[in-house]
Homo-oligomer: A and B are copies of this chain.
């Protein structure tokens, strides 16, 4: 259910989801209300006046009885429950001009997997399937062993031939066969690479064909996601996530690889990520009241380093030239052999990787986004410390990883942080007063700035003309918020009383510099890959953004700072955690599984550091948005309009 929110005096109307937080609504609409506490409700600055309709509001101490009865509310403490008309109090009022700068453009939110399309294309055919067989109980004259009886039943009733099988099911076969008088359900695995035969992995008493579950796992360097699937119904039951417990051994893949070289380091890293998966999986199973015995397999996607560490394979050579991983495609392995708390019949499959820095998460994303079968020339981007880029279409795919550095994940930025509670995720700046309005994750006091918040902040500062194209702050502005700090000039985003740490939360020129390096590496990557295949930016018919890059990415701002190319906005799509989605598609579709290795093989890897032209492109991109402004026509317009 959507509700209409009208902001007076601008008569700006927006449609929002019922229950949406009003501060978030205002930020999205570009309405300045000067909130500086991130949404915690303590600064009291985000006042609005409710004129019509209902809000579900908490009553903070900063609003008096009289004000409350007049309709004053704090936006951050209010949720939209009906159509409302709100008035921005004069202290927040700005000239109309501000409002012409609507934000966002297309708002990119993760699109769920289109299961209906998969089914419509007849691709819904999980590689793990159950077969119910009704066997004749043995007699004196027919006392062949249980396993042969089962094989004969599968051959006769389901035309299953040349079956191979896992040893461990034999330990329960005798009991299972007799429990419901030789009526059993066999779980068959048709996924084994290079094996034409189905592999019998489990047997259960009676007919359990209507209960068949699996889990997929996205092992991110930062976050581990698990998705629970109902294979009998073709449904996603739910997701759960937690931080990768390896985080305590280093923030990024390079520090993890370094840690793996210490005594017992590899073992500790392996056990950590497995512990995280166990915890998230069992939490999810408990929530859905599913016994773990009903899971038939796990499909895992992760970058090359995460995959090596998960399997307990030394990742040392990934970071040593010439950057050769141990394997790209991994044979299936019994999940228990890796320490996973699942029954013996559960095997683990992982998505193939292409190279040391283009891993299974990217291949999975390419599969999920469908670009490998799309005639449109597509740019696929996963923004992160190692930003991965794929360009191509149904005929060819080129890929590369950019050492963007950790700026988008909070690294190298003094107050940068991961997208966690207290991280500023959105900011707008009043171009008259240079006062910020901001919101944090969980709407608590600000603790730092998330990657998405950083992009939005830089874009807002560009728009407010506080920053020069080469990333320097303007010293001549009439605001105490710009001051000289330890690392050159800095902008005070939140003053000490409103921060969690009790110190001023700032953004320095050094921070801006690091962000420019990060976005510059990505942009230089697109151009270099395109150049190598003889194409230009304008040729891109589609741009797909993947990755858990905050909850959403503000497309206009990402273009404004030069992170994304300035192309018609309708060409952009945000697919969210494409790695997890791809793994889920593989669990749902045997046909897609058969494509997986082919797609990985199809992806030609470019080592950017070895590719001619990359360094020049990189240096050219160390500008806001770029030294060659012709790449960014709409940004030029936007900045010009802002100055008017």
Q: A residues bordering B, Cβ < 8 Å?
A: 138-149, 162-168, 170-171, 173-175, 178, 192-197, 311-314, 316-317, 321-333, 337, 353, 355-356, 607, 610
A311 to B170, CA, bound (A): 9
Contact A140 B324 (CB under 8 A): no
A525 to B550, CA, bound (A): 79
Residue of B nearest to A607 (CB): B140
Contact B173 A322 (CB under 8 A): no
A146 to B329, CA, bound (A): 11
User: Which of A163, A170, A325 has the most chain B CB within a 10 Å cutoff?
Assistant: A170
Please indicate the chain B residues that have their CB under 8 angstroms from the CB of A355 in the complex: 143, 145
6 tightest A-B CB contacts, nearest first: A167-B333, A147-B327, A143-B322, A174-B326, A145-B328, A145-B325
Please indicate the chain B residues that have their CB under 8 angstroms from the CB of A322 in the complex: 138-140, 142-143
Please indicate the chain B residues that have their CB under 8 angstroms from the CB of A332 in the complex: 167
Contact A143 B326 (CB under 8 A): no
Residue of B nearest to A164 (CB): B194
Please indicate the chain B residues that have their CB under 8 angstroms from the CB of A163 in the complex: 194
Contact B194 A327 (CB under 8 A): no
Could you write out 13 A-B pairs with CB less than 8 Å apart?
A: A140-B607, A143-B322, A145-B353, A146-B317, A146-B324, A146-B325, A164-B192, A167-B332, A170-B313, A173-B326, A174-B313, A174-B316, A174-B317
User: Which of A146, A194, A197, A330 has the most chain B CB within a 10 Å cutoff?
Assistant: A194
Residue of B nearest to A336 (CB): B337
Contact B164 A327 (CB under 8 A): no
Contact B167 A193 (CB under 8 A): no
Please indicate the chain B residues that have their CB under 8 angstroms from the CB of A313 in the complex: 170-171, 173-174
Please indicate the chain B residues that have their CB under 8 angstroms from the CB of A167 in the complex: 311, 330-333, 337
Contact B174 A331 (CB under 8 A): no
A143 to B354, CA, bound (A): 11
Residue among B166, B193, B330, B607 making CB contact with A331, cutoff 8 Å? B166
Contact A171 B138 (CB under 8 A): no
Contact A330 B144 (CB under 8 A): no
* Minimum CB–CB distance for A398 against chain B, Å: 15
* Minimum CB–CB distance for A160 against chain B, Å: 12
Other 5 A-B pairs with CB < 8 A, given A147-B328, A171-B313, A174-B316: A164-B193, A167-B337, A168-B337, A170-B327, A195-B197
Please indicate the chain B residues that have their CB under 8 angstroms from the CB of A195 in the complex: 164, 195, 197
Contact B194 A197 (CB under 8 A): yes
* Minimum CB–CB distance for A422 against chain B, Å: 40
A324 to B142, CA, bound (A): 9
Assuming the contacts A167-B337, A330-B167, asked whether A324 and B193 have C-beta atoms less than 8 A apart, the reply is: no
Contact A314 B175 (CB under 8 A): yes
Please indicate the chain B residues that have their CB under 8 angstroms from the CB of A311 in the complex: 167, 170-171
* Minimum CB–CB distance for A628 against chain B, Å: 29
Please indicate the chain B residues that have their CB under 8 angstroms from the CB of A312 in the complex: 171
User: Which of A140, A164, A174, A313 has the most chain B CB within a 10 Å cutoff?
Assistant: A174
Contact B324 A138 (CB under 8 A): yes
Residue among B165, B316, B324 making CB contact with A143, cutoff 8 Å? B324
A541 to B140, CA, bound (A): 32
Contact A324 B145 (CB under 8 A): yes
Assuming the contacts A194-B197, A196-B196, asked whether A326 and B146 have C-beta atoms less than 8 A apart, the reply is: yes
Assuming the contacts A167-B333, A175-B314, A317-B174, asked whether A162 and B328 have C-beta atoms less than 8 A apart, the reply is: no
